[in-house]
Amino acid sequence: MEKLRSLRKQRGISQEKMANAIATDPSNYSRKERGEVRIYDDEWEKLAKFLEVPVEDIKEEVVANIVNNNDSTTFNDNAGNFNQYYTIPNSIIENLQSFIKVLMEQNEALKEENKKLKG
């Protein structure tokens, strides 16, 4: 987000004031400016209006977010438009997979119960 940061600094505007322009806290704005958190289209518009420039003068697209796990499984979130890498411990992945399995079993049981009640 070099264009955005550069223009903000040229104008002597604090990250706090930029954060206020998009109704967020300075810490979150800082992450957005560093490209760690997505800046949504409506936020780009508010920032451009605050800086009194066209959106095109500040908006930069970044590549998709990739999550790389210890077991070499890669998740690609094409909607996120982030350029960050995360390592998720296998224990968390396994826990979530177990939870999904329980939910799927409960869903099947509820479907069967629904069939009996209808029949």
47 burial class (0-12, 13-18, 19+ CB within 10 angstroms)? buried
* Token representation of residue 59: 């908006």
pLDDT of 74 reads 47
Dihedral, CA of residue 54, residue 46, residue 14 and residue 24, to nearest 10: -150
pLDDT of 66 reads 47
| C-alpha to C-alpha distance for 91 and 53, rounded to whole angstroms | 47
The model's pLDDT over 10-50, given as tens digits with 9 standing for 90+, comes to: 999 999 999 999 999 999 999 999 988 899 999 999 999 99
3-state secondary structure of 65: strand
